[in-house]
């Protein structure tokens, strides 16, 4: 295969096997027509882009019944208010401001700009979540972002002061097209700011569940600098984040227009010390994934043999990789509880574990809960005090089982 960024020849270093669409929750009538592909990660040692070999078409993942609504987590609502406030205070100056967000989902970030009266526009291809954003006063157009969209926005609204994104840049296979779009859309001194799950954290925690259809890339500072550097942008700041199990916020501007913080060199040096630029790091990661899988299966089998009821907590997209890679189905977990209405009373992609409303968990506590939404551990542990204190046991598949 060829690297999506620099066309260098690369080869996958492992396979997670046959995978369905990670957010493709379905009913039994749909089992026969379920789509599968092989999930194989690869690393490019020329431009440092960590990517998956095959990604299903975007329209198969993002559409008018997309299952992920950003607002389900109170913690994320606070996070996006803080993100928006930080952008506003640190990167926006002047009066007639205009901010664009790629992948604005249900408006969780842009509503904070709307509340300040800042001119804004969300670009969001999944019509159902875009509709929710409009209910929160967020102006949204339903389409995929790219250079054509950028041209259309400039014609209708003018150039923007900031182009923002969260947990979407890593979804987009044609990143060169995104960088071109950013170049068209942004004013000369405009900023491109996005955050995504961080490769350094994924390697450290063996959080292989970050790898699924939507995440075509997992970024590092090294790869972001290299990818956007090809299009005249430079990294000027980096802010590590706790969200999604370890993320990074990247701030980019046109080369030479704004000064770069010293943290950029510090983090790039730390990434080299961690070996994120070396193929052998990914060989070790493969071994760590295999060990993690063996341990999780053993633990769940022990629970079963001891006659203990195990229920999954949080039908995350990430868990699609864990369940399918480890072969965990209704044989090992009874059901998964989740607060998202669109996922409830459906089955999980691939392994077809029933998804039940949250109350199914609280009304009849299991012996053990498998914490699939491990990235929300703090929020969930606080919420589930009652379960834990009456002897409920938790298994967290990541970072350490």
Contact residues for ligand SAH (CB under 6 A)?
Answer: 58, 62, 66, 68, 70, 102-103, 105, 108, 123-126, 129, 144-145, 166-168, 171-172
Q: Scanning residues 54 to 83, which ones bind ligand TYD (CB under 6 A)?
A: 68, 72-73
Both tokens of residue 148? 């054509």
Cα(351)–Cα(324) distance, rounded to whole angstroms? Answer: 6
d(CA 167, CA 212): 13
Q: Identify what 315 binds: ligand TYD, ligand SAH, none; CB under 5 to 8 Å per kind.
A: ligand TYD
> Tokens 């490769």 belong to which residue?
199
Which one of residues 140, 226, 317, 348 is an interface residue with ligand TYD (CB under 6 A)?
317
314 binds ligand TYD (CB under 6 A): yes
- Of residues 69 and 361, the one with the C-beta less far from ligand SAH: 69
Alpha-carbon distance of 274 to 337, in angstroms, equals 37
Determine phi and psi for 321, rounding to 5 degrees: -70, -45
Residue 164 vs 326, nearer CB to ligand SAH: 164
- Tokens 């019509």 belong to 127
Q: Which residues in 341-400 contact ligand TYD (CB under 6 A)?
A: 343, 358, 373, 375-376, 379-380, 383
CB of 68 to ligand SAH, least distance (A): 5
Shortest distance in whole angstroms from residue 251 CB to ligand TYD: 23
Contact 214, 231 (CB under 8 A): no
Q: How far is the CB of 83 from ligand SAH (least distance, A)?
A: 9
Distance CA 122, CA 388 (A): 40
Q: Does 34 interact with ligand TYD (rule: CB under 6 A)?
A: no
Answer with the entry of ligand TYD, ligand SAH, none that 66 interacts with (C-beta below 5 to 8 A by kind): ligand SAH
Sorted by sequence, the CB contacts under 8 Å of residue 186 that are 6+ apart come out as 159, 160, 161, 162, 163, 192, 254
CB 383 → ligand TYD: shortest distance, Å?
Answer: 6
Q: From the DSSP assignment, how many helices (H) and strands (E) are in the chain?
A: 14, 17
Q: Tell me the C-alpha distance between 181 and 278, whole Å.
A: 31
Least CB distance to ligand TYD at residue 208 (A): 13
Give strand ranges (E) for 30-128. Answer: 36-38, 41-43, 50-52, 98-102, 119-123
- The entry of ligand SAH, ligand TYD, none near residue 126 (CB within 5 to 8 angstroms by kind) is ligand SAH
Q: Which long-range contacts link 240-244 to residues 24+ away (Cβ below 8 Å)?
A: 240/198, 240/267, 241/79, 241/195, 241/198, 243/76, 243/79, 243/195, 243/375, 244/167, 244/197, 244/210, 244/375
For residue 340, state whether it binds ligand TYD (rule: CB under 6 A). Answer: yes
Q: Applying CB under 6 A, which part among 8-16, 182-190, 249-257, 337-345 lies near ligand TYD?
A: 337-345
Q: How far is the CB of 79 from ligand SAH (least distance, A)?
A: 9
- How near is the Cβ of 36 to ligand TYD at its closest, in Å? 19
Residues near ligand TYD (CB under 6 A) are 68, 72-73, 314-318, 338-340, 343, 358, 373, 375-376, 379-380, 383
């Amino acid at each position: 295969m060829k690297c999506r960024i620099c066309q260098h020849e690369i080869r996958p270093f492992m396979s997670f096997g046959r995978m369905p669409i990670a957010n493709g929750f379905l009913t039994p009538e749909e089992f026969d027509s379920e789509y599968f592909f092989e999930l194989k990660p690869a690393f490019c040692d020329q431009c440092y882009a960590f990517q998956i070999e095959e990604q299903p078409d975007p329209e198969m993942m993002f559409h008018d019944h997309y299952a992920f609504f950003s607002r389900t987590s109170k913690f994320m609502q606070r996070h996006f208010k803080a993100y928006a406030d930080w952008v506003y205070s640190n990167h926006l100056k002047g009066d007639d401001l205009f901010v664009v967000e790629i992948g604005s989902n249900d408006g969780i970030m842009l509503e904070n700009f709307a509340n300040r009266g800042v001119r804004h526009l969300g670009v969001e291809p999944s019509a159902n979540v875009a509709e929710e954003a409009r209910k929160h006063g967020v102006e949204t157009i339903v389409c995929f972002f790219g250079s054509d969209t950028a041209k259309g926005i400039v014609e209708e609204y003018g150039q923007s002061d900031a182009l923002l994104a969260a947990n979407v840049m890593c979804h987009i296979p044609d990143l060169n097209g995104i960088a071109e779009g950013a170049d068209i859309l942004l004013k000369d001194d405009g900023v491109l700011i996005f955050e995504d799950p961080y490769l350094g954290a994924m390697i450290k925690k063996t959080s292989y569940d970050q790898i699924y259809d939507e995440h075509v890339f997992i970024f590092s500072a090294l790869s972001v600098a290299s990818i956007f550097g090809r299009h005249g942008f430079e990294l000027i700041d980096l802010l590590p984040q706790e969200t999604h199990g370890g993320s990074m916020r990247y701030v980019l501007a046109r080369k030479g227009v704004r000064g770069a913080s010293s943290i950029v060199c510090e983090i790039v040096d730390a990434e080299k010390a961690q070996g994120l630029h070396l193929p052998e790091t990914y060989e070790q990661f493969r071994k760590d994934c295999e060990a993690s899988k063996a341990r999780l299966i053993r633990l769940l089998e022990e629970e079963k043999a001891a006659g203990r009821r195990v229920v999954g907590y949080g039908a995350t997209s990430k868990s699609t990789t864990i369940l399918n890679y480890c072969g965990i189905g209704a044989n090992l977990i009874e059901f998964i509880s989740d607060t998202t209405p669109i996922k409830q009373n459906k089955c999980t992609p691939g392994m077809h574990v029933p998804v039940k409303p949250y109350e199914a968990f609280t009304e009849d506590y299991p012996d053990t809960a498998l914490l699939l939404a491990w990235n929300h551990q703090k929020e969930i542990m606080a919420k589930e005090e009652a379960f834990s204190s009456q002897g409920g046991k938790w298994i967290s598949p990541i970072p350490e089982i």
